Amino acid sequence: MVVAASVITKTTGAGVDVTEPPLVPCSLEVSESCPAEDGTYPVYLPHPDHCSMFCTCNGGVAFEQQCQLDLLWNDVLNVCDWPENVNCGMRPNP
């Protein structure tokens, strides 16, 4: 694995380089809601500062994820969804 300033490049088992954005941790308050150990199913949490973002738990730490295009995080269904299907509540929608 090669770590650059803004991306992570991994080489797959097939010898293909794959570039991924770096993992950015969510706030400590969000991570405190993550289980200490990963279970069978992933744990998703709403990002408190952006309705178009969510956090994914991994090893007791929450990491930021961004919904694509104009989608917002639907914390009822745990998916990125169309704005008309999402209630952001107090979460800002920048």
Which CATH number goes with the domain that contains 92? 2.170.140.10
With respect to residue 9, please indicate whether it lies within any of the assigned structural domains: no
pTM: predicted TM-score of the whole model, two decimal places: 0.75
pLDDT tens digits for 27-59? 999 999 999 999 999 999 999 999 999 999 999
Contacts of 86 (CB under 8 A, 6+ apart): 51, 72, 73, 74
With respect to residue 10, please indicate whether it lies within any of the assigned structural domains: no
The DSSP symbol for 21 reads P
User: Domain of 43?
Assistant: 23-94
By residue count, the chain amounts to 94
With respect to residue 8, please indicate whether it lies within any of the assigned structural domains: no
| Model confidence at 68: pLDDT above 70 | yes
- For CA atoms 10, 12, 17, 20, give the dihedral sign: negative
With respect to residue 18, please indicate whether it lies within any of the assigned structural domains: no
Q: Which helix (H) or strand (E) holds 29?
A: helix 28-31
Task: Look up residue 45 and give its two tokens.
Answer: 């949490």
